[in-house]
A = this chain, B = another copy of it.
Amino acid sequence: MTEPHLADVPDVLLREFAAVVGETHVLTGDATAGYAVDWTGAFHGHTPAVLRPGSTAEVASLLALCGDAGVPVVPQGGNTGLVGGGVPLHGEVVLSLARLDRLGPVDTSAAQVTAGAGVTLQQVADADPALDLGVLIASRGSATVGGAIATNAGGLRVLRYGPMRSQLRGVEAVLSDGTIVSHLSGLVKDNTGYDYPGLLAGSEGTLAVVTAARLQLVPRAAGPVTVLIGLDSLGELHELASRALREVPGLLSAEFFTAAGLAVLAEHAGLAPPLRAPVYLLLEAAGPGAGEDLAALAGDLPVAVGTTAADRARLWAYRERHPEAAGFLGVPLKLDVSVPAAQWVRLASEVAGVLHAVDPDARVIIYGHVADGNVHVNVVTAAPADGRHEEAVFGLVISLGGSVSAEHGIGALKAPWFPLVRSDAERALFTRIRSAFDLAGILNPHVLPR
């Protein structure tokens, strides 16, 4: 890593920042520490200053100052990203959107709400007792609206409601020259001009700083039922999940994990398996007939059913604690990949084999979202982590027509692999799009290599 360019932010600029947001909201020195490392501790950076604007106008003034001075900026939300996209790895100024925490009244006739970038996803979900946010991710309590848009967050209900992009009905954002663009009226249909809100979703803070969003809400799930089903093979599991997609109209989630991960959780976290099988499918559905539909689907297979909140939480824990499982064995490499539906069984069946070919003693734990073709591959390496593990997994994924990042983004972590999944022509286009938005060339320069 190159030396952070802390000297690039002169005192006079710090004073100009303070004139915009107040001295309290320009953090320097030790006060910046928590903003310079991600929540997992995997990415460590340094920053000369953390700026905490309290309004869109302040964001605009700060970006104009940074743009004029050519000072690189990393926007940061809840800092729950998994690819280092929100960490000042090269001494960038951190623009924290946490104080943009205004949550507007819910428009119940449209089932929409306008939320500041710093509002957490949980706060959006709790805004109205009859409504919910369609996106459900484990970090819902700390991940924020702005970050979830920037990374196009996916999670546990994509099969029903799509990712964060699908919830967007408008955004307000600031370009790096301080220009504000805003389109928050929340129209379901509006074919006037280019859909830049959708483009900002998944742009990882490289195009503009989202300051607020108009979000579509969904009906809160009525009478949710959760089942955990044991199966003999990934092929059978995929087939059953595909049937669930067709035959269970109220389906919300279709998650999988394996005996390998569950054994680790049983040993280290005391999670006793409710049933024993090589692979597990967790399904959740809601609405009229959901319980009957799931029971009909499970047939004679071993199954555990949860209808109360406590029982459902108990079943979900087997899946939701899987991200921790590999951590009990060492420091895991976390790879988030996806393939077309028809290739999912091959990916899930073969990924451990290709890893063991380069690192016979590696421990591999897989789990994820079966309906989305998405597998989270966690590897505790025995051989040196010199890129060989990524090469093995990504090579398999690409041979199956898949993506090296299903829902986490490219960030810093996957930048070296970006050219494997996007052509020269596409990356040249991305660079031009980026220049069209980021006139000052200062937004997240280390993310999405040009």
Contacts and interface: CB of A to CB of B under 8 A. Distances in A.
A242 B109 contact: yes
A156 to B, nearest CB: 12
A381 interface: no
A437 interface: yes
A144 B199 CA distance: 24
A107 interface: yes
Contacts of A158: 188-189
Interface string A201-229: 11100010000000000010000000000
A193 B410 contact: yes
Contacts of A406: 187, 189-191
Given A175-B429, A436-B429, A187 B402 contact: yes
A185 B401 contact: yes
Given A192-B403, A194-B433, A195-B199, A185 B107 contact: no
A28 B207 CA distance: 44
Contacts of A186: 340
B109 A342 contact: yes
A404 interface: yes
A162 to B, nearest CB: 8
A204 to B, nearest CB: 8
A55 interface: no
A115 to B, nearest CB: 16
A403 B190 contact: yes
Interface stretch (A72-80, A86-94, A296-304, A415-423): A415-423
Interface in A231-261: 242, 246, 249-250
B437 A193 contact: no
Q: Can you tell how many copies of this chain the complex includes?
A: 2
B195 A418 contact: no
Contact of A418 (B181, B192, B207, B289): B192
A191 B425 contact: no
Interface string A104-133: 000101100000000000000000000000
Given A181-B429, A429-B436, A433-B194, A338 B189 contact: yes
A213 to B, nearest CB: 15
A372 B193 CA distance: 18
Given A189-B372, A195-B199, A429-B437, 9 more contacts: A110-B342, A110-B373, A166-B166, A187-B340, A191-B202, A191-B409, A193-B448, A194-B203, A433-B437
Interface of A: 107, 109-110, 151-152, 154, 158-159, 162-163, 165-166, 175, 179-183, 185-196, 198-199, 201-203, 207, 219, 242, 246, 249-250, 287-289, 338-342, 369, 371-374, 401-410, 414, 418, 421-423, 425-430, 432-433, 435-437, 448
**Complex A-B, nearest 8 residue pairs according to Cβ-Cβ distance, in ascending order:** A432-B436, A110-B341, A189-B406, A190-B403, A109-B342, A436-B436, A185-B401, A109-B341
30 contacts: A109-B242, A109-B341, A109-B342, A152-B195, A154-B191, A158-B188, A162-B166, A163-B189, A165-B195, A175-B429, A179-B425, A183-B426, A185-B340, A187-B373, A187-B406, A188-B338, A188-B372, A189-B374, A189-B406, A191-B406, A191-B407, A191-B409, A193-B418, A193-B426, A194-B202, A195-B198, A195-B199, A196-B429, A249-B287, A429-B437
